[in-house]
Chain A
Amino acid sequence: MSQTTQILPRVIPSPRRWKLPTPRLSVLRGAIVPVLLLGIWQFVSARGIVANLILPSPWQVVQALHVLVTSGLLLSSIEISLQRLFLGYGIGIGIGLPLGVLMAVSPLARKLIAPSFYAVARVPLLAWVPFLMVIFGIGEALKLAIIAKAALTPVTMNTERAIAAIPRGWVELGRLYRLSWFTALRRILLPATLPPIFVGLRLGLVQAWAALVVVELLAASRGLGFELAMSRQLFQLDTMVALMLVIGVIGFILDRGVARIEFILIRRFGGVA
């Protein structure tokens, strides 16, 4: 016994991850806990164990959601928030992609920009908020700047890495075959770089969404985050929970949407996953 246990600690985890117990969740089993939670929640609020003001019942949340939808507030808030998100995200990508390409392609640009870029990236986004507030005020520009900054960092870093990691052999092969500029892009550059660049784009979108919520909680007069902060002030917890659900679902859809685009593009251009 003692001998075997002495041998055992020398466990060497494999460098590549094992694909073993990808949890084959049956939908049924996955539903047990949510249903149970919902049941307890309904029971507790129906029996008045916790005041309705503190814990609204599931039914109240549904009703609050209904009110939000029929009053048009939900749709207009979503519209405003998504507009901000995509504008800011677009700016972030518009700066981040070229910046990443530039740093990967030109050693001089890399040496010039990379240290400053990483120093800026190291300061948490939230610490930039007051700084940007002084510079931009608390209007629309502030929100766009913060969302763009949230997307910029992962997009730039992953783009730079993606291009730097193109296998040399591929590029040489392309030169050997005297591929045209366009064919080289289509057959070599895109397949080699699409998957890692999309990692950055996906991460950037998720972080941009989180940044949007923060900045709307902090300083906004419209949008989902603002309505969330408002429901806190008015002590309407049913509305609050309904809004949290909406924010979660939209974040989920955004993430899956980018994953879907990634899948289609990789299938179209081929890629090394």
Chain B
Amino acid sequence: MSRARTRPGTRLATFALAMALPFAVASAWQAAASFNLIDPTQWASPVLVGHALSQQLSDPQFWSDFSASLLRDAQGTGVGILLGLPAGLALGRSALVRGLFVPVLDATKAIPIFTWVPLLSVWVGSGEEGKVTFIALAAALPVVFSTLEGVFSIQPRYLELARLLCLGRLVTLRRVVLPGAMPGILRGVHLALLYGWLATIGAEYLFEAGGGIGSNIMGARELYRLDLVVVDMIAIGLVGVLLDLAAGNTERFLLRWQERALS
């Protein structure tokens, strides 16, 4: 189990085993295409995907779609986090706000997020505004709930101490609530980044087409270019993985002080 015990040989074996399945699938696919068991124009093949990769990477359309999506994602997620954080803090700090809004929020949570798309497209518009609003909504909800949980996870004695010391509301917020709720807040931001990206792709499918990696992949689908579809899929997956890694590392980095304080 421990890392010290794994010899280089076993690590190589682990890697070989991990690659066995993808390799088998890819070669079966390639073989089927090469021997014309499947129609390569419809089913593509790993070699064609390789060609598509170099084609996409040198295609300015791909890059403009890709950056349009990233920009849209950043706008929506940013707005969502900025709105969700204060809402979550207010919910966590005030029993009155909780009493008033938790039932409404629970009801909102019960509706799958994509159910909002048709309504938003009428109210906000089917273009850029609608998409960004939708992404913001998708990103804000996890921030609200995680921040709320984060505030609840603060040990009551710290809040009592703050009260005992007659700290003002702002000082309490800055010195007790924010640091104490930080794990929850960061978890919410982490989720918001992932949900925001998901919502970006979904928005580009469901709202009016207006440039973006989602429109790009759907366009490729309409042309039955499975090779281009696979390349776009990998790009979308890669962004998700990078966001996940970046958020996870930032979380650990910002919460170092906790481990120091605990040890």
Contacts and interface: CB of A to CB of B under 8 A. Distances in A.
Contacts of B104: 33-34, 37
A21 to B, nearest CB: 6
B153 A25 contact: no
Contact of A124 (B165, B198, B206, B230): B198
B103 A25 contact: yes
A25 B103 CA distance: 9
A5 B176 CA distance: 9
A270 interface: no
Nearest to A15: B262
A13 B153 contact: yes
B152 A17 contact: yes
Given A8-B162, A131-B233, A122 B155 contact: no
Contact of B236 (A12, A30, A31, A123): A123
Given A9-B175, A17-B153, A214-B202, A128 B115 contact: no
B226 A134 contact: yes
A115 B14 CA distance: 10
Given A8-B176, A17-B152, A131-B230, A126 B202 contact: yes
A130 B99 contact: no
B81 interface: no
Nearest to A210: B112
B181 to A, nearest CB: 8
B221 A133 contact: yes
A252 B110 CA distance: 6
B233 A123 contact: yes
A71 to B, nearest CB: 20
B240 A124 contact: yes
B224 A247 contact: no
B203 to A, nearest CB: 10
B217 interface: yes
B153 A14 contact: yes
Contacts of A111: 14, 17-18
Nearest to B158: A11
Given A111-B14, A112-B17, A127 B258 contact: no
Contacts of A129: 205
Contact of A248 (B110, B201, B224): B110
B119 interface: yes
A11 B154 contact: yes
Contacts of B246: none
Contact of A247 (B17, B115, B149, B152): B115
Q: How large is the interface on A (under 10, 10 to 19, 20 to 34, 35 or more residues)?
A: 35 or more
Contact of A5 (B22, B113, B175, B218): B175
A65 B54 CA distance: 52
Given A11-B158, A116-B18, A229-B118, A4 B165 contact: yes
Nearest to A27: B103
A237 B156 contact: no
B229 A130 contact: yes
A74 B11 CA distance: 57
A49 interface: no
B63 interface: no
Contacts of B261: 10, 12
Given A9-B179, A228-B118, A31 B21 contact: no
A126 B156 contact: no
Chain B CB within 10 A, most for which of A13, A108, A116, A210: A13
B88 interface: no
Contacts of A235: 122
Interface in A232-262: 232, 235, 237, 240-241, 244, 247-249, 251-252, 255
Interface string B181-194: 00100000000000
A20 interface: yes
Contacts of B21: 112-113, 115-116
A122 B239 CA distance: 10
B37 interface: no
B34 to A, nearest CB: 19
Interface of A: 4-5, 8-14, 17-18, 20-21, 23, 25-26, 29-34, 37, 54, 108, 111-116, 119, 122-131, 133-135, 209-210, 213-214, 217-218, 228-229, 231-232, 235, 237, 240-241, 244, 247-249, 251-252, 255
9 contacts: A30-B103, A116-B22, A124-B240, A125-B198, A134-B42, A210-B113, A232-B121, A240-B118, A255-B110
6 A-B pairs closest in CB distance: A123-B237, A115-B18, A232-B118, A248-B111, A210-B112, A30-B103
Given A13-B154, A244-B111, A248-B115, 8 more contacts: A21-B98, A23-B99, A124-B237, A127-B232, A134-B226, A134-B229, A251-B112, A255-B110
